[in-house]
Amino acid sequence: MDEERVKRMVNRERNARKESERLLEQKSSELYEINQNLEQLVTERTEKLTTALNNANIAMKTKDDFVSNMSHEIRTPLNAIMGFVEVMQSSEYEEEAFSNYLNIINDSSETLLKIINDILDFSKLQSGQFKISPIDVNLRDKLQHVYSLFSKIATEKEVSFLINFSNDFPKLLVVDDIRITQIVSNFVSNALKFTPKNGTVSIQVLYEHERSTLILKVIDTGIGIKKEAQATIFNSFEQEDRTVTREYGGTGLGLAIAKQLVELMSGEVIFKSIPQKGSVFGFEMPLTVAIEKKQLKSNKKRNLVSFTGTILVAEDNEVNILLISIVLEQLFVSFEVVENGLLAISAVKNNNYALVLMDNQMPKMSGKDATLEIRKFNKKIPIVALSANALKTEKEEFLEVGMNDVLSKPINKTELLEILEKYK
C-alpha cells in the first residue's frame, strides 16, 4: 500500500517537474522571441536615427555650403566695387580707362542688388508672404524688353538669341508682369550662362486660346544638366555641383524662386535637359485675356521733364541725399531737403510743395508716421515713399498710411521720371 503511495507521489512529482520544465522551455522561447523583437526594434531605431542624423548633416552641409557660397557671391562684386573705387581715388589711371571702371562698378552693384533681392524674395516666399498682383499688361512688349536687355550678352558671347511669339498672341493678358519677367530673366540668364559660343538660346512664347494658357519655353543648346542632378535642380540652395559653382558662380536660389513664383501663379514648371545637348526651362500658366480699353490720353513724349514746382525730400542718409540731389539737379527740378519726419511735417505745413519724396526709416519720426500726420491737414499733396527693400507687403503699408506711390532705392532716373510725369 505504502509502496503504491510512494509510486504515485514519485509520478506526481515527475509530472510536476515535466510540467515546470515544459513551462520553463515555453517561457524561455517566449523570452527569446521578445529578445529577438527587441533587437530588431533597436536595429530599426538605430537605422532611423542614423538616417535622420545623416540627413541633418547633409542639410547642415548644404546650408553651410550655401552660406559660404553666398558670402563668396556677395564679396566678389563688393571687392570689385571697393577695388575700382580705390583705383579711381588714386588718380593714377589712364583717362580712357575711366568709363570702363565705372561700368565695372555699375555692373558689380547691379549684381549685388540682384543677390540681395533674391535673398529677400526667397525668404518672403518661404514665409508665404509673397503677393502676386495681376494687371492688364502687354506681355509681348515686356518679354521683348527682357529679350533686348539680354541681347548684348548674347552678342558678346557669340550665342545666337531668338524670341518667337505664336501668331495670335493676345495684346493684353491679366498677369503680374514683374514676376513673369523675373522668372523669364532667370531662365534666360542661366541659358546664356551655360551655352557656349556658337550655341543657340531661344525664347518660345505661345498662347493657347482654347485652354486660356500661356506656354513659355527657354530652349538652349548648352552644357545641359547631369541626370543625377536633375531631380534637385529646383530645390533651394542647390546647384548641379561644386565644380559648376566654381566655374560659373551663382547663388542657387534663382530656379527655386522661379518655381515657387510659377506655382503661386497657378502654373507648372516645364523642365527637360540632356547632358552636353541642352536644356528647356519654362512654364505653363492659366491666364485670361484682358479686354482692351480705349486710351483716353494721347501718347505723350516721355523723358522730357515738365515738372514745375518744388519737391520736398525727407531723407536722413547723407549718401542718399547726395544721390537724389544729383539726379534732381540733372533733371532741373527744384527741391528742398529735411532730415526727419517731424521736420517734414512742419515743412509741408509752411510751404507749398508739389510733391514729397519720403524715406521711411528716419530719426525722430518715421516716414509713415509723418505721412499719417500730414494727411490730417493735407489730403492732396502727393507723397511718394523711398523704400530700400521694395517689398510688396511694405508697399501696401505705405499706401495704407496715405502715401501715393513707392520708389525703390537706389533711385533710378527712369522710375523717378515716371513719378514726376504722373504727379506734375
* Phi, psi (deg, nearest 5) at residue 129: -100, 15
Name the minimum Å distance from CB 149 to ligand ADP.
17
CB of 380 to ligand ADP, least distance (A): 45
> Could you tell me which of 338, 288, 294, 291 has the C-alpha nearest to residue 312?
338
Residues linked to residue 385 through DSSP beta bridges, in sequence order: 358, 406
Upstream peptide bond of 382 is cis (omega within 30 degrees of 0): no
**Which residue, 63 or 349, has its beta carbon nearer to ligand ADP?**
63
Cell matching residue 167: 501668331
Minimum CB distance to ligand ADP smaller for 77 or for 224: 224
**Which C-beta is closer to ligand ADP: that of 196 or that of 286?**
196
As to burial, measured by CB atoms within 10 angstroms (0-12 exposed, 13-18 middle, 19+ buried), residue 166 is middle
Binding site for ligand ADP (CB under 6 A): 186, 190-191, 194, 220, 222-225, 233, 239-240, 244, 250-256, 279, 281
Q: How far is the CB of 67 from ligand ADP (least distance, A)?
A: 14
DSSP secondary-structure letter at 356? E
In angstroms, what is the minimal distance from the CB of 253 to ligand ADP?
6
- Please state the closest distance from residue 224 (CB atom) to ligand ADP, in A: 6
Among 284, 286, 136, 152, smallest CA distance to 205 is for 284
Q: Which is nearer to ligand ADP, 108 or 279 (CB)?
A: 279
CB of 286 to ligand ADP, least distance (A): 25
Query: Cα separations (Å) of 23 from 18, 30, 38, 383?
Result: 8, 10, 22, 92
- 299 phi and psi angles, rounded to 5 deg: -70, 105
Question: Closest distance between ligand ADP and the C-beta of residue 390, in Å?
Answer: 20
The least CB distance from residue 264 to ligand ADP, in Å, is 17
Cα R_g (the chain), whole angstroms: 34
In whole angstroms, the minimum distance from the beta carbon of 91 to ligand ADP comes to 36
CA separation for the pair 72, 407 (Å, rounded): 30
Shortest CB 195 distance to ligand ADP, Å: 7
In the bound state with ligand ADP, the residue whose beta carbon lies nearer, of 241 and 400, is 241
Give DSSP secondary structure letters for 192-248.
HHT--TT-EEEEEEEEETTTTEEEEEEEE-S----HHHHTTTTSTT--S-HHHHHHH
Q: Name the residue number minimizing CB distance to ligand ADP.
A: 250
Nearer to ligand ADP, 225 or 356 (CB): 225
Neighbours of 62 (CB within 10 A): 16
CA-wise closest residue to 233 among 215, 258, 214, 268 = 258
Q: Among residues 251 and 360, whose Cβ is nearest to ligand ADP?
A: 251
Which three cell numbers mark 234?
Answer: 529646383
- Please give the torsion angle defined by the CA atoms of residues 326, 329, 334 and 337, in that order, rounded to the nearest 10 degrees: 10
- Identify which of residues 170 and 254 has a Cβ nearer to ligand ADP in the complex: 254
Q: φ and ψ at 405, to 5 degrees?
A: -160, 170
Q: Which is nearer to ligand ADP, 77 or 252 (CB)?
A: 252
Minimum CB distance to ligand ADP smaller for 22 or for 75: 75
